Amino acid sequence: MSSPDYPDVLEDLRFARAYAADRLPWFAPALFRCRIIVTEQVKVAAVDRHYNIYWNPEAVRRIGNGRARLDALAELGFLWVHEISHLLRQHGDRAEAAGIAGPAPERRWNIACDLEINDAEWTGLRMPAAYPGRFPAAMDLEAGQLAEFYYRRLDPDPTAAQFPIDEGSGVHGRFRPWEEGGEQRLAPLDEELVRREVARLTREADQAGIPDTWRAWAQTVLGSRINWRRRLRHRMSLAIRKGQGAKTDYTYGRAHRRQAVYHPILPPALAGSRSARIAVVVDTSASMQDADLQRALSEVAAIIRQFDAPVTIIPCDITDYEPVRLVAEREAYRINYLPGGSGTDLRKGIEAAVNLKPRPDTVLVITDGQTDYPTHVPGVPILFAVLQDAEQFMLPPTPPFTPDQIVLI
């Protein structure tokens, strides 16, 4: 049972959830997956990582008392969408990946996450007048960015007096005492199914009522209709095999592994390293937004997972920076900073990648396309992954490169 001591509050919350689902039907799978828990331990509302939403009864009553029914539903519905947005955007997981820990960093991250989702305007819903939130514009920050972007630009030590709201582990990843009352625990697969269903409905809905940031989110969750990841993986495989072929050869200096079968004939054995060596040049120029860099790091993580091989990242804007070697997928998600922020000349990064010791089998360049490209093909197989989200992007020239060396992502 969900908080039976507050029947009036539960009724208001259930009506508000239904109202929000009616106004924004693509959020319905997430809204109705939630369990309602009423507790005085939270200031207004909070969410854990398993779709349990905690509501302060007095806050709910304050929003509804003396108000027109539709006004109260619009404001409570806004809070419903606000809380599930933290889960859909995986703010708790991203906080862990970024190493957010401690009262001040968690409070700062909570503010950053609110700024990420408060830039969306929903028809029929509005922020509660009694509990106004924070908007990027009010803090002289650009709207439409990710929490990681805002986090780096906020006061590093916000006090509880400045921001008394704590929205729970669903935002910052840290367990809170009121979450002892959590009534359900979802498996990661269940959470992903909810996210994907909301993303599918978002993509299929009338796009006129959906903010750009949520359309981009749905596209990221579902991927492109053209499976560019499969194309990129296939072309990476070909490039790696080509690179490995250049460092292996037949030799009579060692016995063939099936020598006993061929005796008395002496066949040559294949010698040389067969382990893959992969270098990734990541565009870190000023034109690459935080979301673009996160996509680049996600692709690096996917490469490590798919090819079971370490990856050397070379950040590059107008110059190349110190290489970063990653051996595990989780290490890519823990990176929250790559040097850069200036102009773009990825030729420096490509040259640095080719000159790595030992030499890589292939080089992948991830860029928004706003760069100059080499005028000749380097001495190792190279691929270009060009982000399509940039307003203007240039593709590598053909020739010297071929269409098979370019993948739009």
Predicted pLDDT at 1: 40
Give percent above pLDDT 90 in the chain.
Answer: 45
CATH 2.60.40 fits 228-408, yes or no: no
User: Which residues is 385 bridged to in the sheet?
Assistant: 366, 407
d(CA 303, CA 269): 30
Q: Is the pLDDT of residue 95 over 60?
A: yes
Q: Strand 382-386 vs strand 362-367: parallel, antiparallel, or unpaired?
A: parallel
Q: Please give the single-letter amino acid code of residue 331.
A: E
Least confident of 52-66, 106-120, 239-253, 338-352: 239-253
Predicted pLDDT at 236: 77
Q: Which residue has the higher pLDDT, 106 or 165?
A: 106
Q: Please give the single-letter amino acid code of residue 42.
A: V
Question: SS in 3 state form for 40-59?
Answer: CCCCCEEECCCCEEEECHHH
Q: Which residue has the higher pLDDT, 208 or 158?
A: 158
- Please report how the helices 7-23 and 69-88 are oriented relative to each other, as an axis angle in degrees rounded to 10: 70
**248-263 pLDDT, tens digit each:** 555 666 676 677 777 7
**Mean pLDDT along residues 383-402:** 81
Predicted pLDDT at 270: 59
Question: SS in 3 state form for the chain?
Answer: CCCCCCHHHHHHHHHHHHHHHHHCHHHHHHHCCCEEEECCCCCCEEECCCCEEEECHHHHHHHHCCCCHHHHHHHHHHHHHHHHHHHHCCHHHHHHHCCCCCHHHHHHHHHHHHHHHCCCCCCCCCCCCCCCCCCCHHHCCCCCCCHHHHHHHCCCCCCCCCCCCCCCHHHHCCCCHHHHHCCCCCCHHHHHHHHHHHHHHHHHCCHHHCCHHHHHHHHHHHCCCCCHHHHHHHHHHHHHHHHHHCCEEEECCCCCCCHHHHCCCCCCEEEECCCCCEEEEEECCCCCCHHHHHHHHHHHHHHHHHHCCCEEEEEECCCECCCEEECCHHHHHHCCCCCCCCCCCHHHHHHHHHCCCCCCCEEEEEECCCCCCCCCCCCCCEEEEECCCCCCCCCCCCCCCCHHHEEEC
Rounded to the nearest 5°, which phi and psi values hold at 282?
Answer: -105, 125
Contact between residue 369 and residue 386 where contact means Cβ atoms under 8 Å apart? yes
Least confident of 135-144, 230-239, 363-372: 230-239
Contact between residue 231 and residue 407 where contact means Cβ atoms under 8 Å apart? yes
User: Which residues is 408 bridged to in the sheet?
Assistant: 386
| Degrees, nearest 5: CA angle 121-124-126 | 55
Predicted pLDDT at 299: 86
| Mean pLDDT across the chain | 86
Which stretch, 80-89, 244-253, 392-401, has highest mean pLDDT? Answer: 80-89
Predicted pLDDT at 250: 59
Which stretch, 11-25, 207-221, 302-316, has highest mean pLDDT? Answer: 11-25
Rounded to the nearest 5°, which phi and psi values hold at 163?
Answer: -145, 85
Predicted pLDDT at 245: 56
Q: Is 396 left (phi over 0), alpha (psi -120 to 50) or beta?
A: beta
**160-199 pLDDT, tens digit each:** 777 888 999 999 999 999 998 777 988 887 888 899 999 9
| Cis peptide bond prior to 399, omega within 30° of 0 | yes
CATH 3.40.50 placement within the chain: 228-408
d(CA 27, CA 277): 43
Predicted pLDDT at 392: 66
The model's confidence at residue 324, banded by pLDDT at 50, 70 and 90, is very high
| Degrees, nearest 5: CA angle 151-224-171 | 25
**Mean pLDDT along residues 218-243:** 72
Model confidence pTM above 0.75: no
Q: Please give the single-letter amino acid code of residue 166.
A: D
**264-301 pLDDT, tens digit each:** 787 776 555 556 889 999 999 988 888 788 888 888 88
Q: Is the pLDDT of residue 121 over 60?
A: yes
Predicted pLDDT at 110: 95
Predicted pLDDT at 328: 87
Predicted pLDDT at 316: 96
Buried/exposed code over 331-344 (b: 16+ C-beta within 10 A; e: otherwise): bbbebbebebeeeb
Q: Which residue has the higher pLDDT, 390 or 222?
A: 222
d(CA 62, CA 57): 9
d(CA 332, CA 302): 9
Output the CA torsion sign for 229, 231, 235, 240: positive
